[in-house]
């Protein structure tokens, strides 16, 4: 049990621990936008820094592993065009949002055609803002005799090898971890003030939760 | 048959990529369970030990299965 506001503050394990969650909804939204921001807003500064560093380090390391191409939004009609990992990656909040903007830009036929002309696999002439977190283009490399070529996703996979999958996993895990952080900002820690060295209150064998109140 | 062949086949070097991930997961998981810094630290090491032990057991099982086939 954890005190989630200034009004209720049960004593656990002999200690008085108040966690003022302020406005949990605002904290939850902030926690989604920037990992740790919700905790910073609640005054839980140590945890804010801890979450910020851990989640952003995981996310950006994954992004670096995947050459900036592992986070993209794509929701085409075929299963190949559906980028399901993005549903996890969006959990990191603001840093994954450029992918939505890129998906919107690339959905415009004229812009996609222009990018297609620039995206030569041997000499990609797109600027950083044009390729970063952009959905892969279809058939950028022409086959022999002008036949069907390779899709950009195949070329990216070939170039990055297993780093593409590793980068995807890292960025997905970062997003999923931020979900835990959002829940913590919304409702406080799962075990509250209970010590890690003792059993959590309410768990079988725990004496803390069943102890009668001192008269 | 090389005794370590099944183990080598798992491309052990790639397991190093799991280490930062395990650390990050342990820290964040423990951070959402406890509020005090020392509790978070203890919980982190506990989670870390659990995950590494679990992975080691799975690796050992796969290794043994690999030896048998």
User: If you average pLDDT over residues A129-155, what whole number do you get?
Assistant: 81
ipTM of the complex: 0.86
Indicate the number of domains in chain A.
1
Q: pLDDT tens for residues A205-215?
A: 343 433 344 43
Here the contacts of B41-47 (C-beta below 8 Å, separation 24 or greater) are B42/A196, B42/A197, B43/A196, B46/A196
Distance CA A22, CA A58 (A): 28
User: If you average pLDDT over residues A37-56, what whole number do you get?
Assistant: 97
With bands split at pLDDT 50, 70 and 90, how would you rate the model's confidence at A195?
low
Query: What percent of chain A lies above the pLDDT cut of 90?
Result: 57
Residue B50 lies in a domain: yes
Chain B: give the shortest CA distance to residue A181, in Å.
6
Residue B31 lies in a domain: yes
Over the range B12-27, which residues count as b (16 or more CB within 10 Å of their CB) and which as e?
eeeeebeeebebbbbb
Residue B13 lies in a domain: no
| CA-closest candidate to residue A90, choices A174, A6, A8 | A174
Q: Determine the structural domain holding residue A153 and report its residue range.
A: 59-185
Record: contact B24-A54, CB cut-off 8 A? yes
pLDDT-wise least confident of A8-17, A60-69, A84-93, A103-112: A8-17
With bands split at pLDDT 50, 70 and 90, how would you rate the model's confidence at A140?
confident
Residue A210 lies in a domain: no
Residue A133 lies in a domain: yes
Residue B65 contacts A where some CB pair is shorter than 8 Å: no
Mean pLDDT of chain A: 83
Residue A48 lies in a domain: no
Residue A136 lies in a domain: yes
Residue B27 lies in a domain: yes
Residue A2 contacts B where some CB pair is shorter than 8 Å: yes
Residue A8 lies in a domain: no
Res A141 pLDDT > 90: no
**Partner A, chain B 5-64, Cβ-Cβ below 8 Å:** 14, 17, 20-21, 24-25, 27-40, 42-43, 46
> How confident is the model at residue A148, as a pLDDT?
66
Strands A123-124 and A15-16 turn out to be: unpaired
Chain A: give the shortest CA distance to residue B54, in Å.
18
Top-confidence residue, A71 or A82: A71
Residue B6 lies in a domain: no
Residue B16 token pair: 């190093």
Chain B residues whose beta carbon lies within 8 Å of the beta carbon of residue A182? none
Q: pLDDT tens for residues B6-59?
A: 666 556 778 889 999 999 999 999 999 999 999 999 999 999 999 999 999 998
> How confident is the model at residue B8, as a pLDDT?
60
Total count of residues recorded for chain B: 69
Q: Helices (DSSP H) in chain A: which residue ranges? A: 24-33, 37-41, 45-65, 85-89, 98-106, 109-118, 128-131, 152-160, 162-187
Distance CA B53, CA B11 (A): 19
Residue A18 lies in a domain: no
Q: pLDDT tens for residues A79-121?
A: 778 899 999 999 999 999 999 999 999 998 899 889 888 888 7
Top-confidence residue, A195 or B50: B50
With bands split at pLDDT 50, 70 and 90, how would you rate the model's confidence at A139?
confident
**Quick one: how far is CA A199 from the chain centroid?**
31
Record: contact A50-B17, CB cut-off 8 A? no
Q: Determine the structural domain holding residue B29 and report its residue range.
A: 20-68
Which residue's entry shows tokens 């209150």? A201
Residue A170 lies in a domain: yes
Residue A75 token pair: 């929701």
Residue B11 lies in a domain: no
Res A34 pLDDT > 90: yes
With bands split at pLDDT 50, 70 and 90, how would you rate the model's confidence at A20?
confident
Indicate the number of domains in chain B.
1
Residue A181 contacts B where some CB pair is shorter than 8 Å: yes
Q: Which of A2, A180, A192 is opposite residue B29, by nearest beta carbon?
A: A180
What does residue A120 show for φ and ψ, rounded to 5 degrees? -80, 125
Res A147 pLDDT > 70: no
Whole-Å CA distances, A22 to A15, A39, B36:
21, 10, 19
Chain B residues whose beta carbon lies within 8 Å of the beta carbon of residue A48? none
Q: A171: which residues sit within 8 A by CB, 6+ positions away? A: A58, A59, A62, A63, A66, A70, A71, A85, A88, A89, A92, A96
Residues A211 and B60 sit within 8 Å (Cβ to Cβ): no
Residue A173 contacts B where some CB pair is shorter than 8 Å: yes
Query: What percent of chain A lies above the pLDDT cut of 70?
Result: 78
Q: Which of B25, B31, B42 is opposite residue A197, by nearest beta carbon?
A: B42
Q: pLDDT tens for residues A177-194?
A: 999 999 999 999 988 655
Chain A residues whose beta carbon lies within 8 Å of the beta carbon of residue B26? none
């Amino acid at each position: 049990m954890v005190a989630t506001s200034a009004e209720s503050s049960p004593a656990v394990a002999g200690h008085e621990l108040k966690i003022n969650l302020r406005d949990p909804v605002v904290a939850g939204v902030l926690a989604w936008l920037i990992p740790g921001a919700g905790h910073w807003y609640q005054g839980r500064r140590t945890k804010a820094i801890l979450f910020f560093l851990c989640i952003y380090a995981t996310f950006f390391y994954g992004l670096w592993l995947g050459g900036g191409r592992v986070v993209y939004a794509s929701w085409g009609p075929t299963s190949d065009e559906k980028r399901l990992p993005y549903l996890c990656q969006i959990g990191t909040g603001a840093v994954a949002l450029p992918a939505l903007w890129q998906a919107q830009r690339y959905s415009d036929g004229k812009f996609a055609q222009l990018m297609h002309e620039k995206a030569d696999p041997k000499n990609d002439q797109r600027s950083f803002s044009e390729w970063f977190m952009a959905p892969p283009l279809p058939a950028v490399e022409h086959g022999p005799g002008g036949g069907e070529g390779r899709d950009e996703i195949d070329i990216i996979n070939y170039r990055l090898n297993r780093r593409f999958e590793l980068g995807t996993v890292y960025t997905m895990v970062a997003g999923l971890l931020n979900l835990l952080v959002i829940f913590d900002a919304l409702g406080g820690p799962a075990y509250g003030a209970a010590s890690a060295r003792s059993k959590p209150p309410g768990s079988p064998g725990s004496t803390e939760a069943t102890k009668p109140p001192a008269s | 048959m090389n005794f370590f062949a099944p183990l080598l086949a798992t491309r052990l070097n790639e397991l190093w990529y799991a280490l930062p991930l395990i650390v990050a997961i342990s820290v964040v998981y423990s951070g959402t369970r406890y509020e005090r810094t020392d509790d978070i630290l203890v919980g982190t090491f506990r989670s870390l030990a659990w995950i590494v032990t679990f992975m080691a057991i799975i690796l050992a099982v796969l290794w043994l299965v690999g030896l048998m086939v």
